[in-house]
Amino acid sequence: MMMGLLAAPLHAQLPEHRQEYQLATRSTDGEFVAPMFNGWIANEDGSVTMIFGFANRNRSEATDIPLGSNNKLEPEQFQGAQPTHFPVYNRGGFVGIQERGAFAVTVPADMEGTEVIWTLTSPNGTSWSIPGRATSPAYEMSPAGMAAGSQNPAIRVEMDGEESTDPVGIYAERQTVSVGEPLNLSAYIKDRGVRHLYVEDDEPLYYPLGTYWVMHQGPATPEFETQEIRGSQRAATNPGDPTKAEWSEVETDVTFSEPGDYVIRLRVDNFQAPDSQFDNVCCWSNAYFPVTVNP
């Protein structure tokens, strides 16, 4: 009982900006969205990849923050890569309410030492800025394979087209559709694991990949025919040749209720593998699908 009596006075003594992170139950709505810096990767050409995510503090309400003064990346040249739509997540464990690796930007070698700052001002007026910087070894990540050979999956929009193997991702060509008309989005995906170097003969070399489609930017949340398929729900695509993985096609239909410009993100993961998990920011890749929706 004494602890309860002391809690309020101690909380009141904190500076106002620190009171917002009190240990209290999150509300269903009206909370803020916090930008998160997940880490950085040093690339062979001297550039640096900076990976960002977010945490929506609401328990049930998604939040939308359009690009502009309330949702900006600095320097200006990186503006536009970030999401404007922030769903609610509750994954449990270390990551909890976070969405990690929602986007990433590459800082060129001739901009070495540049900080990329993401500022979000939520509808409730709370504003947070997070710097992405390639200085702390604690935030450095490696693009190399994991302990048992897992690597980021590969994504191609066209079989003979550009390939994504990281959170920076690739962009498909813009498509156009009308309100209420289903639009088919598709891609080709492949597990890139090199597990034959690490595993026993009776262990799988390739695992079925998970897929997750989500609105990255746009004025209104669309409806997905199939938004998420976990790796455990998908059949493995092991080929006859056990040393070579196969490509498989994935797709969903998406229907928009309001006109405007949208970007749909596809995340492909290999979380089924024993050396892979969401916490690591190692084991998925992104692809983005711009869509113009007419009335």
Nearest to 37 by CA among 115, 96, 90, 110: 115
The burial of 77, by beta-carbon neighbours within 10 Å (0-12 exposed, 13-18 middle, 19 or more buried), is given as: middle
Nearest to 292 by CA among 136, 155, 174: 174
20 or 117, which is more confident? 117
Count up the domains in the chain and report the number.
2
217-242 residue pLDDT tens:
999 999 999 999 988 887 665 555 55
**Quick one: tokens of 109?**
């070698």
Alpha-carbon span 258 to 14, nearest angstrom: 44
pTM over 0.95: no
Confirm if 188 and 220 have CB atoms less than 8 A apart.
Answer: no
SS3 of 179-231: the string is: CCCCEEEEEEEECCCCHHHCCCCCCCCCCCCEEEEEEEECCCCCEECCCEECH
Here the CATH number for the domain that contains residue 87 is 2.60.40
**Residue 49 and residue 106 in one domain:** yes
Give me the CATH number covering residue 234: 2.60.40.10
Question: How confident is the model over 28-56, as a mean pLDDT?
Answer: 92
Query: DSSP E strands: which ranges in 4-68?
Result: 33-42, 48-56, 63-64
In terms of domains, do 180 and 73 share one?
no
Residues 6+ apart with CB under 8 A from 99: 53, 54, 55, 56, 86, 87, 89
138: Cα within 13 Å, side-chain hemisphere = 2
Domain limits for position 123: 24-136
What's the whole-number average pLDDT of the chain? 87
- pLDDT, residue 142, reads 79
In a shared domain, residues 131 and 54: yes
Over residues 147-166, the mean pLDDT reads 92
